[in-house]
Amino acid sequence: MSVARILPPAALGIFGGGQLGRMTGMAARAMGYDVHVFDPDPECAAKAIATSVTTAPYDDEVAAARFAERCAVLTLEIEQVSVTTLNAAARFAPVRPAPDAVHVVQDRGRQKTWLRLQGFPVGPFAVCDDEAAFVEAVARLAPCIAKSTHGGYDGRGQVRLADADPAAAAAAAWRAIGGRRAIVEQFLDLACEVSVMTARAADGHVRQFPPSWNHHDHGILTWSMAPAPVPVEVAREAARLAEGITVGLGIVGVLAVECFVTKRGDVLVNELAPRPHNTFHQTERGHQTSQFEQLVRAVCNLPLGSGDIVAPSAIHNLLGDLWVQPGRRPDFTEAWAMPGVRVHLYGKPGARAGRKMGHLSAVGDTPEMARDLVRAAYRSVARSVGLAD
């Protein structure tokens, strides 16, 4: 396939100005590209690295079209951009990944149904359009987790239900997640969760990063390490599934595929993200190419970089909880002093509990050593504001 390359100093447009847009823009700047950002928040994290920020809602087609006119290619750091908005922008510049692929992914029910219809392994689930169907699905699949199909992440818009919960609890859960279309997923007997990042360029070439191992607390990623210490056959199967999904969706850009690994060794697809992903922030430290540079390469149709490991690495999220302690601010002195540790702050103006404000990264001789180092660094920061790990 012959597709023109988009070379610097061309303008890259990014829908979304959060930390992922900021880090993608920083990678693009290092490669010589101009960067423009589209975000509803005029003080978004990516403002500091963008030539301009178009401040408008993600469903503003007129603003998106004007934004696209200034750019040679467009990508995204958040999948909740209206498809009509992306299509309006696509009249003026290539949108990568394409709006049709984003449409499949941005609704959890549509995403899970597509995966099942395409033959990819998923756990038992039900998509529910009304309360009666929801209550029935909970009774059949409990213990389970219920999620709104659209929006919500990092534990928001989700309710966990035990198999002993009465129907009244299911009805309350339906209301708690907004009383709208929802997905109910049965809990699985899990050994671990891993994710695979696949990059696909406009000419069809594909490169992957080795799987990462992820640990969540309260639905939010706490730490991640790479390469995931899993059996070779598990890593291969996760990579095979991720590449198949990426090609099947026609992704141009990057796609993160979160997978559950059961105690029996089965690999099941959990969720997809057509953008950079929190579980691959360590690629900036431990891989030959970061996920952010790889995204720029993919959407500009440059040769893709190697995803090979240079050194085992790990990250630990820094949430707003560290900043909202009365009379205290986090002290990173000990973390900065630890060999192999770096502090990454996103420049977000307002901290709140649960909000991702930055992360710590570390490298080590093994993934576990990197993880233990970054966790030790985090404990030092948490102690500085009176919080335990």
Question: What are the tens digits of pLDDT across the range 97-151?
Answer: 999 999 999 999 999 999 999 999 999 999 999 999 999 999 999 999 999 988 6
The sign of the torsion formed by the CA atoms of 381, 383, 388, 389 equals positive
Note whether 80 and 208 are same-domain residues: no
pTM, 2 dp: 0.95
Helix, strand or coil, per DSSP, at residue 68: helix
Segments of the chain with pLDDT less than 50 = none
Note whether 206 and 77 are same-domain residues: no
Note whether 163 and 41 are same-domain residues: no
In a domain, 115, yes or no: no
**Domain ranges, residue 164:** 124-186
pLDDT of residue 219: 85
How many separate domains does the chain show?
A: 3
Note whether 82 and 200 are same-domain residues: no
For Cα atoms 207, 357, 238, give the angle at the middle one, nearest 5 degrees: 25
pLDDT of residue 346: 97
Q: What is the DSSP string of 111-176?
A: HHHHHHHTT-----EEEESSHHHHHHHHHHH-SEEEEESBS--TTTTEEEE-TT--HHHHHHHHHH
Q: Would you state the structure tokens that stand for residue 128, as one six-digit string?
A: 């529910």
pLDDT of residue 156: 64
Q: Would you state the structure tokens that stand for residue 213, as one six-digit string?
A: 């191992």
Note whether 179 and 207 are same-domain residues: no
Backbone angles phi, psi at 92, to 5 degrees: -115, -20
User: How many angstroms separate the Cα of 56 from the Cα of each of 85, 99, 194?
Assistant: 11, 19, 35
In a domain, 5, yes or no: no
Note whether 236 and 356 are same-domain residues: yes
pLDDT of residue 389: 60
